Amino acid sequence: MKKRIFQSVAIISTFVVFITFFLTFILLYNHSFDTLKKNLIEETNKLKTIVETNPASLNNAALVSESRVTLIDVNGNVIYDSEKSDSPLDNHADRPEIISALKNGVGSATRISSSTHTKTYYYAIQLKNYEILRLSRNMDNFVSSLYPSIIRLLLLLPFIYLIGLLLTHLEVNRIIQPINNLNLQEPLNNVIYPELRPLLENINEHNAIRREFSANVSHELKTPLTSISGYAEIISTGLVQDINDIKLFSNKIYTEAQSLITMIEDIIKVSRLDEGKLEIKFQPIQFDEIIKSAVTKLTPYATKKSITIIERCKPVSGAGIKTVIEEMIYNLIQNAIKYNKPNGHVWVFLYEYKNRIVIEVKDDGIGISSEDLPRIFERFFRADKSHNQTIEGSGLGLAIVKHSVQLHQGEITVNSKLNHGTEFKIFLNKH
């Protein structure tokens, strides 16, 4: 995280420094140019007054000036030039500042000078005797006068950077320190950045789920273990002599132990699915075959409870983790039989819709109340405690189903009406 913040700050500051540099240069340049123009205009006006009063003083005045001074007659011929005096200059009648000065009395232009080959600003003014007095100044001199400042700034740059990095380092530490000192046992007691609130609430929720899970596991394990211990104690006291009674008690111990093993296996399964530790190896799957096989396995159980299974499956193939899909379908059909009424029905449908595989398991059984419905996928949750005391289960089946669906990036929906029945729908991608 520190590294990320550091990198971001470094990139942003480099960008800001260069933009600032660039903008400063442009502003300075524009400012210099404006000052130059202003000075040149002032100087031209002063020189005009001097020359008009005393034409002979032009050369002296031009010599002390920093600008180039040129005097041009009405035909564009150069009468005087403070810089190029040895070779005659060509006719200036076509220069824009001269054309303008002859017409309007004043004229100005910026261009690369044909004689000095540098960017030059010209200002021309017409004298009383109609001759044109023109002053010009080289812009490049101005730009080059900026160079020392630019170089100084460039030399300063590493120091500015170092100071910036040092400050960033201190600031990042200051920001991160409270995060390192978070109390994760009591996340909501931390008074820290509001942005972290959702994360802390999440951790708090996870802590609560974990605590509830441990409490549930202990409770679920304790019930069968208590009865195992009770039966074993009765046998060990020697009070039960009848061999049939001993058989009965041992059988009870065996059954309870078996359900304990199943529950522990289920807990391990949910944890594995939850942690994503399961080896994800998708293989081709014929979904109708899996459903048919589950229905065949569960038919004796349904018959015993006088329940009819109606299965309508289209041949649908796809990909997934076979054992996980098998268990998911088995769990749903088993529940539909388990939470049913005598002479009830279970419908199982399989089809494809919009390139997705849809598995529907429906029953006209006892249904789930609207208060319990949102919680049925939670681990150890069992709806309506009163009828559940007579129906065996640990509340883990649907948690396994939900995780199995998620593992396949699918979706599960449930609809239920108390006393009327329940409908589960699973949507899986074809892969």
Closest separation between CB of residue 399 and ligand ADP, Å?
6
Residue at token pair 């399964």: 269
The region of 193-201, 204-212, 277-285, 397-405 touching ligand ADP under the rule CB under 6 A is 397-405
Tell me the three state secondary structure of residue 95.
Answer: coil
Least distance from C-beta 335 to ligand ADP, angstroms? 3
| 8-state DSSP, 3 | H
CB 179 within 8 A of CB 195: no
Dihedral of alpha carbons 309, 315, 318, 320, sign: positive
Binding mask 40-79 for ligand ADP (x = CB under 6 A): ----------------------------------------
Residue 318 or 344 with smaller CB distance to ligand ADP? 344
Backbone angles phi, psi at 280, to 5 degrees: -90, 100
The nearest distance, CB 322 to ligand ADP, in angstroms, is 21
What is the residue-wise DSSP string for 165-207?
HHHHHHHHHHHHHHHHT--SSSGGG----GGGHHHHHHHHHHH
**Region 410-429 residues binding ligand ADP, contact defined as CB under 6 A:** 422
Query: CA-based Rg of the chain, rounded to a whole angstrom?
Result: 47
The only residue of 321, 394, 403, 426 in contact with ligand ADP, by rule CB under 6 A: 394
Instruction: Determine contact, residues 414/399, Cβ cutoff 8 Å.
Output: no
Distance in angstroms (rounded) separating the CA atoms of residues 398 and 420: 20
CB of 246 to ligand ADP, least distance (A): 31
Residue that is written with structure tokens 């261009």 in the block: 111
Q: Which residues within the stretch 218-257 sit at the binding site for ligand ADP (CB under 6 A)?
A: none
Phi, psi of 120 (to 5 degrees): -130, 145
Other CB atoms within a 10 A radius of the CB of residue 113 amount to: 15
Using the minimum distance from each CB to ligand ADP, give the nearer residue, 107 or 365. Answer: 365
Residues 308-347 that bind ligand ADP (CB under 6 A): 335-336, 339
We find the least distance from the C-beta atom of residue 417 to ligand ADP, in angstroms, to be 10
Strand 308-313: give its sheet, edge to edge: 308-313, 345-353, 356-363, 421-429, 411-417
Among 263, 270, 398, 426, binds ligand ADP (CB under 6 A): 398
Compose the 349-388 pattern: x for residues touching ligand ADP by CB under 6 A, - for all others: --------------x-xxxx-------x----xxx----x
- Are 70 and 82 in contact, with CB atoms under 8 Å apart? yes
Q: Write phi, then psi, for 117 (nearest 5 degrees).
A: 55, 35
* Minimum CB distance to ligand ADP, residue 396 (Å): 6
Nearest to ligand ADP of 126, 394 (CB atom)? 394
Least distance in angstroms from the C-beta of 342 to ligand ADP: 15
Nearer to ligand ADP, 81 or 363 (CB): 363
What is the contact mask toward ligand ADP in residues 94 to 133, using x (rule: CB under 6 A)? ----------------------------------------
Q: Smallest distance from the beta carbon of 390 to ligand ADP, in angstroms?
A: 12
State yes or no: residue 404 binds ligand ADP (CB under 6 A): no
Q: Which of 109, 110, 108, 104 is nearest to 126 (CA)?
A: 104
Residue in the block written with tokens 């599960």? 412
Q: How many residues of this chain interact with ligand ADP, rule: CB under 6 A?
A: 21
Calpha distance 403→104 (Å, rounded): 89
- On whether the CB atoms of residues 135 and 47 are closer than 8 A, the answer is yes
CB atoms within 10 A of CB 58: 18
Q: How far is the CB of 420 from ligand ADP (least distance, A)?
A: 10
Instruction: Compare residues 114 and 262 and give the one whose CB is closer to ligand ADP.
Output: 262
Of 395, 404, 407, 412, the residue at the interface with ligand ADP (CB under 6 A) is 395
Which residues are at the interface with ligand ADP (CB under 6 A)?
335-336, 339, 363, 365-368, 376, 381-383, 388, 393-399, 422
